[in-house]
C-alpha cells in the first residue's frame, strides 16, 4: 500500500528547471551511425513489404549499440530525471509514412506502443485541426494553451515534424519538485493528495469516472496522476462537487507547478523526440500562432508507451496504459 512521504524527495527525479536550463546533458544528439541504422531498419521494413503500424520490433532491426543506447534512455526515464530528448532526426528526407514507421520502430525498441483513443490509434496527431467551438474538441487539436498534465501510459513521446509560426513552447515540470515545495510550504494539504479522487480520464466501461489518488508513494518511488480538468469533471459526473479545502489543495498544486524556477521550457525543433515518464513528470505547451497553409502548420506525432521497466504501482493507484483495441466488425 502507498504511504505518505514526509521527507523531501531527493535524487535526479526531483530536478528543478532553474538547475537544468544551462545544462544540455539531457539533450542526446543522434549520431550519423544512429541515423544510418534507422535508415537501414526502414529499408529492411520496406523490403519485407511492411508498413506502419503492421510490424513488430524484429521487423525494424537496430544494431546492438543503438539498442543499448535506447535501453539507457529507458532507464533514465524510470530511474533518472524522467525525461530525455533525442535530437537530429533528418525529418526532411522522409515521407510522412516513413516518419511514422521510424518513430513507431523506435517506440517498439523502447517499450510497447499502446492505443491512444477508442479508435485504436497507435500514433496520435498533435496538430491545430480542431474546432474550438465544439466541446468534444481536445486541446491538443487546437493552438490553445495545453495545461500541465499526465497521460494514461507509462511514457509519452512527442516527435516534432514542423514548428508553429510562433510559440508552441514545450514545458516539463518534475513531480518530485512540486511535492517538495508542497511539503516545505503547506504540509497540511499532503493527506488530501493521497486520498481517492474521481477522475473522468479513467472512465472505463460506461460513463462512470474512476478513482485515483494524485500522489502515491510506493516502494521508494513517488508517482503522480494529474489533470485538474478531469478531476473536476470526474467529481461533477459523480455528483460529488469538490469541497472548498479540496479546491484550495488543487489551487496550491497549480500555483507551484507554474513557478518559473521549477519548470523546464524547450522549443522542440523538427526531428526532436521528447520522451517523459507520466508518473514523474508533468508536460505542457503554451499557445501558438500557426501558419495559414495546412501543409505548413505545426505538427507533432505522439506515442504512448508501456515500458518493460515501469515501476510497480500501489494497489490504490490504478494502472492505465492506453485504450483497449476496438472491437472488430464481423
Domain residue ranges of the chain, discontinuous segments joined by +: 24-163+269-281+289-308, 170-266
CA-angle at 112, arms to 107 and 92, nearest 5°: 15
The residue to which cell 524522467 is assigned:
82
Whole-number pLDDT of residue 193: 98
pTM over 0.75: yes
pLDDT tens string 99-122? 999 999 999 999 999 999 888 999
Whole-number pLDDT of residue 118: 87
Confidence of residue 290 (pLDDT cuts 50, 70, 90): low
Instruction: Among 110-114, 294-298, 300-304, name the one with the lowest average pLDDT.
Output: 294-298
| Whether the predicted pLDDT of 81 surpasses 70 | yes
* Cell numbers linked to 90: 533528418
Give 195's Cβ-side CA count (13 Å radius): 12
Whole-number pLDDT of residue 136: 41
Select from 27, 149, 8 the least CA-distant residue to 81. 27
* Cell numbers linked to 127: 496538430
Instruction: Provide the CATH topology of domain 24-163+269-281+289-308.
Output: Double-stranded beta-helix (3.60.130)
| Burial letters 305-318, b for 16+ CB under 10 A, else e | bbbeebbebbeebb
Percent of the chain with pLDDT over 70: 89
| Whether the predicted pLDDT of 206 surpasses 60 | no
Whole-number pLDDT of residue 139: 45
| Whether the predicted pLDDT of 143 surpasses 70 | no
The mean pLDDT of 179-196, rounded to a whole number, is 97
Neighbours of 239 (CB within 10 A): 7
Calpha distance 278→216 (Å, rounded): 13
Confidence of residue 46 (pLDDT cuts 50, 70, 90): very high
| Whether the predicted pLDDT of 129 surpasses 90 | no
| Residue 326: strand, helix, or coil | coil
Is residue 197 within 8 Å of 231, Cβ to Cβ?
yes
The mean pLDDT of 4-21, rounded to a whole number, is 95
| Residue 224: strand, helix, or coil | strand
Confidence of residue 319 (pLDDT cuts 50, 70, 90): confident
Calpha distance 39→30 (Å, rounded): 13
| Whether the predicted pLDDT of 132 surpasses 80 | no
| Whether the predicted pLDDT of 167 surpasses 70 | no
Calpha distance 142→287 (Å, rounded): 9
Q: Cα 12 to the chain's mean position, in Å? A: 18
| Whether the predicted pLDDT of 148 surpasses 90 | yes
| Residue 265: strand, helix, or coil | strand
User: Which regions of 168-238 does DSSP assign to beta strands (E)?
Assistant: 170-174, 197-199, 210-212, 215-218, 221-224
Calpha distance 188→136 (Å, rounded): 37
Cα–Cα distance list, 163 to 123, 158, 166, 226 (Å): 18, 12, 8, 27
Neighbours of 1 (CB within 10 A): 8
Amino acid at each position: 500500500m502507498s504511504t505518505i512521504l514526509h521527507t523531501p524527495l531527493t535524487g535526479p527525479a526531483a530536478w528543478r528547471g532553474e538547475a537544468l536550463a544551462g545544462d544540455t546533458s539531457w539533450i542526446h544528439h543522434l549520431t550519423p551511425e544512429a541515423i544510418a541504422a534507422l535508415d537501414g531498419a526502414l529499408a529492411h521494413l520496406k523490403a519485407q513489404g511492411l508498413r506502419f503500424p503492421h510490424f513488430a520490433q524484429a521487423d525494424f532491426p537496430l544494431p546492438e549499440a543503438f539498442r543499448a543506447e535506447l535501453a539507457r534512455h529507458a532507464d533514465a526515464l524510470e530511474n533518472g530525471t524522467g525525461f530525455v530528448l533525442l535530437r537530429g532526426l533528418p525529418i526532411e528526407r522522409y515521407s510522412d509514412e516513413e516518419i511514422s514507421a521510424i518513430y513507431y520502430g523506435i517506440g517498439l525498441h523502447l517499450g510497447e506502443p499502446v492505443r491512444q483513443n477508442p479508435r485504436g490509434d497507435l500514433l496520435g496527431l498533435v496538430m491545430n485541426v480542431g474546432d474550438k467551438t465544439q466541446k468534444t474538441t481536445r486541446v491538443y487539436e487546437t493552438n490553445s494553451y495545453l495545461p500541465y498534465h499526465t497521460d494514461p501510459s507509462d511514457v509519452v513521446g512527442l516527435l516534432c515534424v514542423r514548428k508553429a509560426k510562433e510559440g508552441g513552447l514545450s514545458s516539463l515540470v518534475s513531480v518530485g519538485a512540486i511535492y517538495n515545495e508542497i511539503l516545505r510550504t503547506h504540509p497540511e494539504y499532503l493527506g488530501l493528495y493521497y486520498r481517492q479522487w474521481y477522475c473522468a480520464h479513467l472512465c472505463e466501461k460506461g460513463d462512470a469516472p474512476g478513482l485515483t489518488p494524485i500522489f502515491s508513494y510506493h516502494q521508494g518511488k513517488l508517482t503522480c496522476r494529474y489533470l485538474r480538468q478531469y478531476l473536476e469533471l470526474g467529481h461533477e459526473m459523480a455528483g460529488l462537487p469538490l469541497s472548498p479545502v479540496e479546491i484550495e489543495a488543487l489551487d496550491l498544486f497549480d500555483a507551484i507547478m507554474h513557478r518559473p524556477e521549477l519548470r523546464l521550457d524547450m522549443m522542440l525543433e523538427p526531428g526532436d523526440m521528447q520522451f517523459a515518464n507520466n508518473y514523474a513528470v508533468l508536460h505542457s505547451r503554451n499557445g501558438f500562432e500557426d501558419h495559414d497553409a495546412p501543409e505548413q502548420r505545426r505538427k507533432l506525432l505522439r506515442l504512448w508507451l508501456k515500458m518493460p521497466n515501469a515501476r510497480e504501482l500501489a494497489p490504490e493507484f490504478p494502472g492505465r496504459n492506453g485504450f483497449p483495441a476496438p472491437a472488430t466488425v464481423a
